Structure 1
Amino acid sequence: MAIAKRVERLWELAEEELHPDGSVERLTLRVGAGFAWRKRLLPEIVLEMQNRFPALVFDILSLDYSTAPTDLREGRFDILFMGAMDRLELSDLAVHPMITVTDRLVAREGHPIFEEIAANGKVPAISVTRYPWLEVSAAPIFGTQVQDALFGALGFRPRPMMTCENLDTSLAILQRSEYIAILPDAMTSDAGAPRILPVPLDIHTNFGLAGMIYRPEMADWPQIKELLKVSELVLTQSRAATSLFGKVTENVNTDTSHHSSINRNPPVGSSRLSRGNTCQGFRPKGI
């Protein structure tokens, strides 16, 4: 059934793209994107793409991290822009990591946890047990890096006292209380009065990877090749890419022939991608 849906979607795209005389008509791409991508980077990317391909139509949708790869395989999405891609099995898909992302323990400015910063400039891991935890279910895949590090330091994982699926509500709760939470920088940058700040925990956490994923049979499409180039351009030029997400990966290769464009020298502590063609030549350190 999954293969049938995938072929059906490919046929729909082929029918939509071409007139009987071979001239190009409109082409609609279904783009699944994570919150930070939709908020910060995707608008600039898709507008620039439409400047280059006036007949290109984008259907931009939110995604569920747990089902997004399956939705892509079965044609409900054509392209994914998402984070935490190194924690998913994607070896049968074309994967292009573009940014490293760091999860943070965060709290409001003026939170008492900041009074526990030690002489080394870090907050001891045990301090997190003194404050209630908020789990932001809008981004369920984020936080595993910090949680794993806390488990290593404490021997257990703190349990949330509240869960919330809405990011704006979650930020408001953090601003008005002593709750702490785990979020990427990109999700907290707009909060103000008080700001939401990273807590400098005395633990080591790894990096995650974010970027673009699509079905490998689309690799030779001119729109896909150009989308990779435009994404790289926007990420390189955008202050949001470095100040909100993390480090833009170096030497991004937009050649789609190997279904992989990966920083060959990622930061120390970066996580491993799934097996297969998605990680050719990718040997991160500090795992």
Structure 2
Amino acid sequence: MTDVGLQREGNEDSFSVQDAFGLYMVADGMGGHLAGEVASRVAVEMITKSFRKWTENQTPTDEIFGFPDHSLSREGNYLLGSIRLANRVIYEMASEYEQYNGMGTTIVSLLVASGFIVAANVGDSRMYLVRDDRIERMSKDHTIVAEHVEMGVMTEEEAMRSPLRHILTRNLGSSENVDAEVFEIEPASEDRFILCSDGLTDLATDEEILKASLRERDPQGLCKRLIDLALERGAHDNTTVVTVFLDQVEKHRGTPFGRVGSLVADALTGVNRIKKKLGF
């Protein structure tokens, strides 16, 4: 679910819900006129298409984009490789087309695999795990203030108010290669995952997100509650939330859902040529 907010004219967020193969994403784009929307759209579509292609073909991990990470599962490498490919496509578009110069996007991805979960992110879009009435971040913010918090020179509360909070140290599209944070964990049957853009986390604390999660039994209801919370507090940015309740995922298996939200009709102009150039 996504909302443009109260102070923006366009929506640069994109999201993807692919219940058929358990892949969920949120991306928050940045750049000039429409470029942010293009970057986030390209990210979710490229990751979806490449992940599905590699999964269906059972591609050996040493043949995917980039070298395999031997600490990850096959599926984890598929997701990591898909993120790397999306980064390269966005970087090439930004380099070759003047209207896309400087564009980029965050990405946060959840893969519900057989017996394990893969979480991956680049930038400051977040993923939370709610388990046993507790909340835990399953992503790492790639921002200057996050580094300051990690070093102990700034508190979480100070980071939320800092004018530097939106300065990213890593995103898709700013360089030819990118390092994504990737985690794999064992799931529990009642796990709930929340993926969101910073339109929510700028205005709500982790504890408030937890309280909202504990009050809702329906994934869509939780999305609406969290977006309403951002709207109540001014919603200065686009806000996007995707929720995944593991006890309900299996009910929807085999029913693919496309990305919801506005699309730019010509956003992928030139992408096929770039993919061919990259050998994809």
- TM-score tier, shorter chain, comes to under 0.3
Of structures 1 and 2, the larger Rg is shown by: 1
